[in-house]
Structure 1
Amino acid sequence: MKAVFLINTERGKERLVRGILSAKGFEAHTIPGPYNVLAEIKVSGYEEKDARLEEIKKIKEVKTVVADLLGT
């Protein structure tokens, strides 16, 4: 199952988030809009101990959504 992340984040961090997600094999796009993260996601393959996922969690704009997806 492939996840598609639609991300609106702080200027300059969108490439970082896209790059991290792309490295994990997920498709990610930045979008315009008033929301920090807008996501339509089918999630599989996440590993909480994955260092790159920890980097994603550190980014304030996506932290809540990623944590919600993981059920943490």
Structure 2
Amino acid sequence: MKFLAVCIFLIFALVAVQAHPGRGGFYGGGRGGGAGGAVASANANAVARSDGYGPASASASANAEANASG
């Protein structure tokens, strides 16, 4: 269960980094650029099951999407 929690945390961290990749722009000729907007969404599901009759089972799924324009 701890492994699944760590995986989900890392996925959220990846989405956050991808959503804010850094500032881009055009610097020259007296013109300065700025950073564009960013959109991020993440979904994560984790299920763990353990009973007394067999081995424990766990499954996890995650979807992440990040769009940035600058």
* TM-score band, normalised by shorter chain: under 0.3
Which one has a larger percent helix, Structure 1 or Structure 2? 1
TM-score by length of structure 2 reads 0.27
Structure number with larger C-alpha Rg = 2
